[in-house]
Structure 1
Amino acid sequence: MCGRFAQFSLPEALEDYFEVADGYDLPPPRYNIAPGSRILAVRAGPDGRRVFAKLHWGLIPSWAKDRKFGYRTINARAETVAEKPAFRAAFKSRRCLIPADGFYEWQATPDGKQPYFIRLTDGDPIAFAGLWETWTDRETGEAVESGTIIVTQANALVRGIHDRMPVILDPRDFSTWLDPTIQTAAKLRGLLRPLAPERLSMHAVERRVGKPSNEDPSLIRPLTPE
């Protein structure tokens, strides 16, 4: 799964990497983004060009009774995303990229869960494969845009601590993933594969990251052995 990540690249770097025009109020650096937070996304605008958006992390399908539904849908499994009622409509035509600079995963140990920070070895931003939806509150009329991160089987590196990992897309696949006219499940599923392990690096970090209120750059630093 993916239940915590960081996003701290400079706005200019995100605009360049995701080929989005400037002029959007990008969020400040974040080092401990938790479910229920507002997260940055990249999606196709009405004219087909890429635009930034902010989503509630935890997808709320249009038919949900209330926004609490999103607590169960922070992730969508790659193997079933095309069929699950909560995700299948968004999978067809409301796909997005979730920018990040790395994500956290926890390994069970005799002394408790040990967190690790995982990022691209070249230092580039990460693009998680995501979905987005719009849900309208029946009582207030408020429209809420929400999103989820798709996860798949872990690669050889991540498998040492966890059996799942987020789908990380290559820039050459961005256009295909974001194109709402492409709705062939087989073609889209072909993109939902684990990233090659040699493209990722991983190191242990302090357990403070387990508390969402902790939010500072030291969270991603390698853990110093006692």
Structure 2
Amino acid sequence: MCGRYSQQYTWAEVHAFSQPLTLTGPASNLQPHYNIAPTEMAGVLVPQADGSLRYERMRWQLVPRWWKKSLKEVPATFNARAEEVADKPMFRDAFRSRRCIIPASGFFEWSGPKGDRQPWYITAASGELLGFAGLYDRWRNPETGEEVPSCTIIVTTANSFMGQIHDRMPVILDRADWQAWIEEPREDLLRPAPEGPLRRWRVTQAMNSSRYKEADAIEPVEPEGGSASAKRGTIATCQGD
């Protein structure tokens, strides 16, 4: 699954990433978020009626607009499985009509046994942002009347590179597929990323806590007993054919 990710980019960077689509929204300084956990706020690219994208902040845990219980009773909807998204009640309405793109600098996954979990950071080898396939909705709290915008990241089976760590990964949309994803609920786009330019490295075990928010959350660390050269060697790149 995808239980943690990061967003550390400027408005200019996310604007360039959105091209050729037009990006609207508050063109202000965007604060970096190195360890976004479920129920926290995250940046989302939301399609508009004129074909542009609007940058909005949303709660990362989808709350469908028909939800009748409290916010605390929402189940774990921060991920939506690609094979269930069209039919599962928590996601199917949003899949039909409220699809979005979630820009990420990278995401985290874990390997190893319980009690000694090793966090890894996965990002684009090019240094560019990643565009996750997402869904969004707007729920109104019946007790306060407050509107709560929320989102989820769609996950699929892992490619072989990610499969060395975990059996699932976020759906990373090719830029050429953005328009198709926005216009139609295309299940065929919800596939593993190609065996192309992703890279990963070990990061601090402080990341085993969702409360750790420091900038070094995404920095490479050397394996226990390793050297500076071993530290560099923790970076693994998946090269395409």
- Where in structure 2 are the equivalents of 1:153-164 lying within 5 Å? 153-164=157-168
1:193 corresponds to which residue?
A: 191
Is 1:116 the equivalent of 2:114? no
1:24-173 to 2 correspondence within 5 Å?
24-25=27-28, 27-64=30-67, 65-109=69-113, 112-173=116-177
RMSD over aligned CA atoms reads: 1.6
Q: 1:60-107: CA deviations, max 9, x gaps?
A: 111221212444100000001000000000001100011111000001
SS in 1 for 2:179: helix
Q: Percent identity?
A: 40
Tell me: higher relative CO, structure 1 or 2? Use CA pairs within 8 A at least 6 residues apart: 1
**How far apart are 1:43 and its partner, in Å?**
1.4
Deviation at 1:110, TM superposition (A): 7.0
Is the aligned partner of 1:202 residue 2:207?
A: no
Residues 5-20 of structure 1 aligned to structure 2 (within 5 Å): 5-19=5-19, 20=23
- The verdict on how the C-alpha distance between 1:144 and 1:223 changes in structure 2, with shifts beyond 3 A counting, is same
Larger Rg: 2
1:222 to 217, 220, 224: 220
Residue-by-residue CA offset, 1:129-185 (whole Å, 9 max, x unaligned): 100011111111111111000000011011111111110001111111122xx24xx
TM-score (normalised: structure 1): 0.92
Letter in 2 for 1:11: W
Residues 141/149 of structure 1: CA separation in 2 closer, same or farther (3 Å cut): same
Inter-partner Cα distance in structure 1 for 2:16 and 2:74: 31
Q: Is the 8 A contact 1:5 1:104 kept in 2?
A: yes
Determine if contact 1:77/1:151 at 8 Å carries over to the other structure: yes
Aligned length: 220
Does structure 2 conserve the Cα–Cα contact (< 8 Å) formed by 1:57 and 1:70? no
| Separation in structure 2 between the aligned mates of residue 109 and residue 67 of structure 1, nearest angstrom | 33
Give the C-alpha shift of residue 55 in structure 1.
Answer: 0.8
User: Could you say if the C-alpha distance between residues 152 and 26 of structure 1 is closer, same or farther in structure 2, counting changes exceeding 3 Å?
Assistant: farther
